[in-house]
Amino acid sequence: MRKVAIVGVGMTKFGEHWERGFRDLVTEAGVKALEDAGMSGAEISAGYVGTMAAGSLIGQEHTGALIADYMGLNPIPITRVEGACASGSLALRQGLMAVASGMHDVVVVGGVEKMTDLDTAEVSEILGGAGDQEWELFLGATFPGLYAMMARRYMHDYKATEEMLASVAVKNHKHGSMNPLAQFQNEITIQDVLDSKMVADPLKILDCSPLTDGAAAVVLAPLDIAKKYTDTPIEIVASAQASDTIALHNRSSIAGVKAAQIAAQAAYKQAGVSPSQIRVAEVHDCFTIAELMAIEDLGFFSKGKGGEASLNGETQIGAKIPVNTSGGLKACGHPVGATGIKQAVEISWQLQGEAGKRQVSGADIGLSHNVGGSGATAVVHIYKRVN
């Protein structure tokens, strides 16, 4: 198997793009990634795109062919990949395997979602399909409701508080305020979160990631030719995926995500590193409780200690383990199919020293953690700066 590196990255601003469509967003991100790699589309031999629900959200299926057409990449094959909110990371994993195997040399991987053309109720029902349609969605469970149950169990088991949950949102908004591509660039306080509208007890509106339009893309190439395209290639040193039951009621515990724990252990073994060696991480914070569980599932903090660590500022830039320097899903935004690729873009910028005001000093190894639904799919990638 060949070693694989990211040689170009690009993304749109995340937000509510009323004046722009799906194809405009993904084309912008793809062109930026190609330009960053200093290459034309002629060098691309395949593509993969993560998008969860284009058919339901905008009435457009067959998105791989659409993207090949609008990016001027015909006749190369572009394949759509779907895994709920983990669609982007699954597409990245497919692209990585294609290059590592030798089937393709230079591959473009994108993620995109256009979510704001429908009202919130309609989008919520569509997103509910990432859970168990028969036993959860049909019976009235929404995703805020599912994560609220996880939060209540976690708070019961580990004596966590609503202030601990709120501290995740506060930190991610602080990081997002330094990211010009983030949907929200305003700082908030713990009291702001506690006073915001209740969505599903104990989760308030400021505990929840928003509906977002946006796209992101990366270009992958064999490591041995990566410097043909960039002076600062980022090697993907591990890629791991795991599954769990799609319905919460079938799990042994809902105070953590078992699939994430398994994927993380596999990724650390592949990369030959430990959690303590990770210098920066992008994790899946669709709700504030999700980040607390993630930083424990990934081994950054022991079980039940994530809330206290977050409240004490240990996940901020400049602290023990900077988490979600982009602003995370909470502040940067969550166009579900694009999130996993955005995470790879942010880690690449951090390892290249190009993250601007949110730069993590000495970042040389990074990690991304992307979850589908309430945890039925989890994907972990580890990245290393090539000197």
Can you tell me the distance from the alpha carbon of 90 to that of 88, in angstroms, rounded to the nearest whole number? 5
Domains defined along the chain, listed by start: 4-118+212-234 (3.40.47.10), 126-210+236-385 (3.40.47.10)
Catalytic residue among 17, 85, 104, 208: 85
The number of CA neighbours under 13 Å toward the Cβ of 151 is 28
pLDDT given at position 46: 98
Name the pairing type of β-strands 203-204 and 107-113.
Answer: unpaired
Q: Is 332 a catalytic residue?
A: no
Buried/exposed 165-202: b ≥16 CB within 10 Å, e otherwise: bbbbbbbbbbbbbbbebbbbbeebebebbeebeebbeb
Catalytic residue among 104, 173, 284, 334: 334
Residues in the chain: 387
Q: Is pTM, for the whole model, over 0.95?
A: yes
> Strand, coil or helix: what is 85?
strand
* Amino acid occupying residue 46: A
pLDDT given at position 387: 83
Name the pairing type of β-strands 107-113 and 214-222.
Answer: antiparallel
Q: Is 334 a catalytic residue?
A: yes
Can you tell me the distance from the alpha carbon of 215 to that of 349, in angstroms, rounded to the nearest whole number? 16
> Strand, coil or helix: what is 336?
coil
Name the pairing type of β-strands 365-372 and 280-282.
Answer: parallel
CA angle 232, 236, 239 (to 5 degrees): 165
Cβ 235 vs Cβ 7: under 8 Å: no
Q: H-helix or E-strand containing 260? A: helix 258-271
Can you tell me the distance from the alpha carbon of 175 to that of 323, in angstroms, rounded to the nearest whole number? 9
pLDDT given at position 186: 98
User: Could you tell me the mean pLDDT of each successive run of 10 residues in the chain, 387 residues long?
Assistant: 97 97 97 96 96 97 96 96 98 98 98 96 94 94 96 98 98 98 98 98 98 98 97 98 97 98 98 98 98 98 98 98 98 98 99 98 98 98 96
pLDDT given at position 358: 98
Concatenate the DSSP letters of all residues of 262-292 into one string: HHHHHHHHHHT--GGG--EEE---SBHHHHH
Distances (CA, A) of 295 to 222, 225, 283: 31, 35, 8
- Residue 367 in tokens: 């990690």
pLDDT given at position 18: 95
The 365-372 sheet, strands edge to edge: 78-81, 46-50, 107-113, 214-222, 4-11, 234-243, 377-385, 365-372, 280-282
Quick one: DSSP state of residue 134?
Answer: I
Nearest to 309, CA basis, from 292, 327, 288: 292
Can you tell me the distance from the alpha carbon of 16 to that of 1, in angstroms, rounded to the nearest whole number? 41
Identify each DSSP E strand in the chain by its residue range. Answer: 4-11, 46-50, 78-81, 107-113, 198-200, 203-204, 214-222, 234-243, 280-282, 365-372, 377-385
Q: Is 272 left (phi over 0), alpha (psi -120 to 50) or beta?
A: left
